[in-house]
Amino acid sequence: MTSHYFSLARHALLTGLQCAGLKIGAKVGMPRLICSEVEKSLRAADFQIVYYHVSEGLHPIQLSTVVEMCEAIIAVNYFGFPANLDYFREIIGNRAIVLIEDNAHGWLSRDSRGLELGHRADVGITSFRKTIRSVDGAILTLSSHLDVPNMAELGPSIFQINPGYRARDWISQVESKTHMPMMNLARSVTRSIRRASVKPSHGVSMDGIERPRRPHPSSMVRLEKTNQRREIERRRDRWLYCLQESAGTGITPVHFDLPSGVCPMGFAFYGSKEAARKYSRRIYRSGIEVFSWPEMSCPSDSVTDLDYYHQLWIANFLQ
C-alpha cells in the first residue's frame, strides 16, 4: 500500500481513479446516500455515475445490477463503521472492477479483523479533517499494484485560512485544555464571522472545477501531533453517551452497538425534525452539534430517493 496526502478526499478520489487506469467517461457506481460534493467532482471530471441504494442499516441494496454496469464501485464506511467489503468482492467476482473504499468518515477506525479502514481496497480515501480539527486534509491509499500519482504536478497548498476557522480552532484548543464546553460559543462566533466573510478563491480553475492540491502544511502538523489513542477513546465515549441519551427522544439510532475497532465520526440517527431538535437540546450541554446529513444533489430521472435518506442526522464529534 502507498499513501499520498491531499487537501480534500474528493481530490484523492479523482487521483485514485486515474491511478487505477479509469478513463474519461468510465462508469462509477456509488451509493445515492452521499454528499453532493463527491458526485459534483466526479461529473466535473467526466465520469458517469450509476447509483445504488442503501438500506436503513446502510447496507447496499441490489448491488449486482449496478456492478454489472460499472468499471469502478465505491463502498462507503458511513460514520466510521466498516462497510462489508467481502460482500462487495463477492458481487464483483472475477470482473475487472476497481473497488474503492470511501473512508472519508473513518480515520483511526478498524474492522472486526483489526484492519485499518481506508486500507482494505484497491483505492482508499480518508478525509482526516472530519476527525481532527484541521483546515483541510485527506489521504489516498493505493494498493501496491497501482501507479502512484505524480504529486509534484499538484496545485500548491498555500491559501489563506479563513477567520471563522481560526476562531473555532482557538476555542477548541482552549476547550480541550480546560475541559469547559465552549464549542457552543464557538459556533455562534463563527456563524457571525462566516456571515461577514467572503470565501477565498484559491484552487479553483477557470471553468470553476477545483483542482486536486496538496494539504495545507498546518494540517499535516495536526495529523502528526494527534494523540490517536486518546482521540479513539474520546470518540467512543461520546458515542456511548449519545446512545444513552437517545432513550425517550423519539429518534432511532442507525447502529445500536459499537464494535471494538470502530472510531465513530459521530452518532447517526433517524428522526423527524422535531425529534432531532429535542435530542439536540438534550446533548447540547456536552457541546455536540447535530446536523442533517448528507446534503444530497437533486434527484434526477435516473434516481428516486428513499424517504429515510431525508431523516438522517449526525451528532458530530469533531472537537
Ligand X SMILES: Cc1ncc(COP(=O)(O)O)c(C=O)c1O
Q: Closest distance between ligand X and the C-beta of residue 271, in Å?
A: 20
CB neighbours (10 Å) of residue 211?
Answer: 13
Distance CA 139, CA 7 (A): 8
Q: Which of residues 132-151 bind ligand X (CB under 6 A)?
A: 138
Q: Closest distance between ligand X and the C-beta of residue 138, in Å?
A: 5
Q: Residue for cell digits 484492519?
A: 115
Q: Which of residues 6-25 bind ligand X (CB under 6 A)?
A: 8-10
Q: Which of residues 42-61 bind ligand X (CB under 6 A)?
A: none
- Which of 102, 116, 122, 169 is close enough to bind ligand X by CB under 6 A? 102
Sequence-distant (6+) residues with CB within 8 A of 240 are 258
Sequence-distant (6+) residues with CB within 8 A of 222 are 132, 133, 134, 137
Pattern 279-318, binding to ligand X, x per CB under 6 A?
Answer: ---------------x------------------------
Residues touching ligand X, count (CB under 6 A): 14
- Which of 3, 18, 27, 37 is close enough to bind ligand X by CB under 6 A? 37
Residue 92 near ligand X by CB under 6 A: no
Rank residues 56 and 175 by Cβ distance to ligand X and give the closer one.
56
Residue 76 near ligand X by CB under 6 A: yes
In this chain, which stretch among 32-40, 204-212, 223-231, 252-260 interacts with ligand X, using CB under 6 A? 32-40
Q: What residue ranges bind ligand X (CB under 6 A)?
A: 8-10, 34-35, 37-38, 76, 102, 104-105, 127, 138, 294
